[in-house]
Chains A and B, each alone.
Chain A
Amino acid sequence: MLVTNLELVPGRRIVSHYGIVQGSTVRAKHVGKDIFAGLKNIVGGELKGYTELMQEARQEAVERMIAEAQSMGANAILNVRFATTSIAAGAAEILAYGSAVQLDGS
């Protein structure tokens, strides 16, 4: 599955369009990490736990989007975008969406 945020893939032609596909997930971190983050708010710096959380969440969202595209029979997702919303303290919804298409060639 080819995933890109370009509108076209150089050297490849779009054979058919399947419409929009999306994947989303809502995540929260356990209290321990939140307390640690609270301490980090005093000295500043990277909150590694939260970086990890966001990374895992995006991965999950992309995987769900890919699964939807695969079920349609697409071999590529173009124009992928991300959206993030913080719902409550320490919880965030991450959405990945794009256009599922069939590209010619391998």
Chain B
Amino acid sequence: MLDLIEFGLFITLLIVGFFAGTIVEKRHYASIRKREREYADVLTFAMRFPPDRVTPQRAFLVHGTVVISSDYFKTFVAGLRNLFGGRLRTYETLMERARREALLRLKHDARRQGAKLVICVRFETTTISTGWAASIEVFAFGTALIPERNSETNAALAFGARSATPA
């Protein structure tokens, strides 16, 4: 009897996890795609040095972080997959969502402070044990650059284009 209840609970959780998880994931992807279009004007690069090393620019750290949890169904499927090996598609989407979300939050942070360029973007991933299921944290950080107000004249001077500016 007790086994039957336990089995019933397991099946229920599996079904709830599958449907709720699918809905949550679909909504999240829709939101990600929408915001990615919104923040398309904030450029992010992984390169270590700014494209223009001469012009004085205001530099500051921006970041975005998200902790995201797997659902019961994903965790179960991943457990099964572990027996045979191979791609864990359910976790792949989880990681992808987390990375894109973290990057979006980084872009949000940059735009909030008036920057349109973020370089040296780095990702950090941590697994957080929250009970029995996998939760992951993705932290994205980088340096936002804003050209100083008099940057145009500075750049012109730096490149020897003195004649270009009217005397």
**Distance (whole angstroms) from the CB of B41 to the closest CB of chain A:** 21
How many chain-A residues does the 8 Å CB contact rule pick out?
A: 41
Considering the complex, which residues of chain A in the window 55-106 have a beta carbon less than 8 Å from any beta carbon of chain B? 55, 58, 62, 80, 82-86, 88-90, 92, 105
* B65, A41: Cβ atoms closer than 8 Å: no
* B69, A44: Cβ atoms closer than 8 Å: yes
Q: When chains A and B are docked, how far (Å) is the Cα of A55 from the Cα of B48?
A: 24
**Distance (whole angstroms) from the CB of B130 to the closest CB of chain A:** 4
In the complex, what residue of chain A is closest to B50 when comparing beta carbons?
Answer: A10
Considering the complex, which residues of chain B in the window 39-75 have a beta carbon less than 8 Å from any beta carbon of chain A? 48-50, 52-57, 59-61, 63, 65-72, 74-75
Chain A interface mostly? mixed
**Distance (whole angstroms) from the CB of A74 to the closest CB of chain B:** 15
Considering the complex, which residues of chain A in the window 24-57 have a beta carbon less than 8 Å from any beta carbon of chain B? 34, 37-38, 40-48, 50-51, 53-55
Binding site for B on A (CB under 8 A): 2-12, 34, 37-38, 40-48, 50-51, 53-55, 58, 62, 80, 82-86, 88-90, 92, 105
Q: 10 A-B Cβ contacts within 8 A?
A: A4-B61, A6-B143, A9-B57, A11-B55, A42-B17, A44-B25, A46-B66, A50-B67, A54-B67, A62-B61
